A and B are shown apart, each in its own frame.
Chain A
Amino acid sequence: MDNKPGVLSRVAGLFSRRGYNIESLAVSITDNPQVSRMTIVVNGDESEVEQITKQLHKLIDVSKVQDYIGVPMVARELALIKVNAEIKDRTPLMQLVEVFRGRVIDMSEKTFVIELTGGADKIDAFEQLLQPYGIRELVRTGRIAMARGPRSI
């Protein structure tokens, strides 16, 4: 879509107006600064998704809508988690982070901030394992996705 003010609210407004549920939404500019790209995760059956696709396409600022249902793709999201990390807990926490291929990116006397990327299931599982230590704060980006192979939008 065109990288213009108001585009995000046009898209968000369309979803609320037509009663579609957004599970997540991630938006950023692309290699072309005139163009931004939005990855939206929605719940709905095939005809609903088709209708959403068509309605999105009607927005003047939207250049292309790609439905990833049935398309081989990679999808990732990023989570930042601030978790209690008492001295005694630090080793098991570090092990967990390693297993999940996350990173500790900030450390205080009492806490870690852990960065983790991956699919939604992986982040859910990680979150569950951190619960016993006490999660102070958690933030997740929406999913972003790209088709596998040479195929591009």
Chain B
Amino acid sequence: MRINGARALLECLKQEGVDTIFGYPGGAVIPIYDEIYKFKDIRHILVRHEQGAGHMAEGYALATGKVGVCLATSGPGATNLVTPLTDAMMDSVPLVAITGQVKTAAIGTDAFQEADITGITMPITKHNWLVKDVTKLPAILAEAFYIARSGRPGPVLVDIPVDISRTMFDYEPVVSVQIASYRPTFEGNARQIKRAAELIAEAERPVLYVGGGAVNAEAHEEVLKLAEQCDLPVTTTLKGLGAFPETHPLSLGMLGMHGTAYANYAVHDTDLLIAVGARFDDRVTGKADEWVPKAKIIHIDVDPAEIGKVLQPDVPIVGDVKHVLHELLKIVETRKLTAWNDKIAAWKSEYPLCYANDNQIRGQAVIETIGEVTNHNAIVVTDVGQHQMWAAQFYKYTRPHQMITSGGLGTMGFGLPAGIGAQFGKPDQDVFIITGDGSIQMCIQELMVATIYKLPIKICILNNQYLGMVRQWQELFWDSRYSNVDLEASPDFLKLAEAYGAHGIRVDRPEDVESALAEAMAVTDRPTVIDFRIAKEENVYPMIPSGGIVENMVVQRPSDLVTLDPYMESELAEDDITVLAAKS
């Protein structure tokens, strides 16, 4: 078939099973857009900013487990993808970014809209390519998809000069990909798996610590089987939420800086930590040297470089998490750990997640109500900040790909476009975007996309008129010097919703939260924006300060340590603040 590079690109995408791409045109990609115009097998979603395209592709990938694809022009179009690519790199999201480039002869001359995007994105992609020969384009794209989705998934970028897009050549589909220098390990070492089974058989207080790698590998069933067979309590990271049902009695919820107290006590006390697709992030470990002080460590991960990066495991197992767990399940003994699970149950009842119940709207309560209204079954997409932590703590995730969030990079502005991408990927599921008054303003322009495509996404702004998480740190660690966190001067989100053609609701009183959500659920032909005016100075607890250890954990706002805002003090009844001294 004699076609040009642009058409070959679309043929390759189709061959890879791509049905939706997110993009924005520009000079260097006009040939590609001309082919998109004629090519009916791929739906192109016109975004309003390339960053939106990148995050939509991420949301699409995270909701479906497929590779997300975004397209941008050269120069500024390409550089606007830098944040989503970094985000995808940090969170191992399979992403293929296609960028236009100035014509081959002009590369290096500071041509109009030229940027060295392969140079720029080298550290933030798993790999990237500049296509200099159109006949190599099909092979490069096949490699790009293979690399993005295999091993530890991640973003890749293919930069296509405009003349390459226009060059005619004899296109032949690529049937198989072989990269001699890239062969991800799939099978775990049998001897180490046996060692792991032995340690599990001996352990008295084991904990299963499950990360995003288990979601990527679709290993949720194996995690559940292992937990049930060996009676293992399970805690997940932020990115691991949904890899184990939080409604299960063995679930400890999330661990780490804002994890549940009982998850953190359990990992502090454990004698065997079984890490499954988790990378010992600093937001999980705090002071890594003193984390899990009594534990032996089994570390199962597809990426050999994660083994020993932070803590040296006793049993390292490199391989596909699902496959390794499958092998492990064949040889582990069935166990009953009554004493250990009783101890954890006591922690659970002594230190539950809690918040003040008063006449202000609490962000935590909004999340709980969303959980009730959606039967904890919606896809929850978050931005970054306090609302994100509350969404992690108070929504009960029961399946993988249900919780979509920017974990590693912590990208404010991720939520709305990622939620749109998730809804495109999962049109039959409810998508709730939990965001803040800060985050929503970072990619608000993408609301137009949701309106145009009649996406019934629910955008819940937990509006405390502050950059809440930074304000919390300033309150706790910087003597309440609230430097540049005041967002009182924000747009009227109702009018903004209206301007974009969305439905808008404002909620000022706790008793109206549920009805507002019911109203939103009834809107099915456009997005709904709900502006929840929540308590201004609420904090996220529990909290282990950055670089701290479990002894530093503050389970709930201790009134004698932290000066309460007088406005809050007057509002709160004494009983409503559960003061729990940090365990010493």
Q: Chain A: residues with CB nearer than 8 A to chain B?
A: 1-2, 6, 9-10, 13-14, 17, 47, 50-51, 54-55, 57-64
Contacts and interface: CB of A to CB of B under 8 A. Distances in A.
Given A14-B123, A58-B305, A60-B181, 7 more contacts: A54-B304, A54-B307, A57-B304, A58-B303, A60-B182, A62-B181, A64-B181
Given A2-B181, A47-B312, A51-B309, A60 B126 contact: yes
A54 B312 CA distance: 14
Given A51-B305, A58-B305, A9 B122 contact: yes
Contacts of B123: 13-14, 17
Contacts of A1: 181
B308 interface: yes
Contacts of B165: none
B143 to A, nearest CB: 8
Contact of B118 (A6, A58, A59): A6
Contacts of B179: 60
A50 B126 contact: no
A9 B119 contact: yes
Interface string B159-189: 0000000000000000000011110000000
Nearest to B151: A58
B88 interface: no
A111 to B, nearest CB: 38
Contacts, number: 40
12 contacts: A1-B181, A6-B119, A9-B119, A9-B122, A13-B122, A13-B123, A54-B304, A57-B305, A58-B305, A60-B147, A60-B181, A62-B181
B287 interface: no
Interface string B124-141: 001100100000000000
A51 B308 contact: yes
A67 B179 CA distance: 23
Contacts of B304: 54, 57
A104 B176 CA distance: 56
A153 B161 CA distance: 37
Contacts of B312: 47
Given A9-B119, A58-B303, A60-B127, A47 B308 contact: yes
A10 B122 contact: yes
A19 B273 CA distance: 29
List the 7 closest pairs (A to B, CB-CB), nearest first. Answer: A54-B305, A63-B181, A60-B127, A17-B123, A60-B182, A54-B304, A13-B122
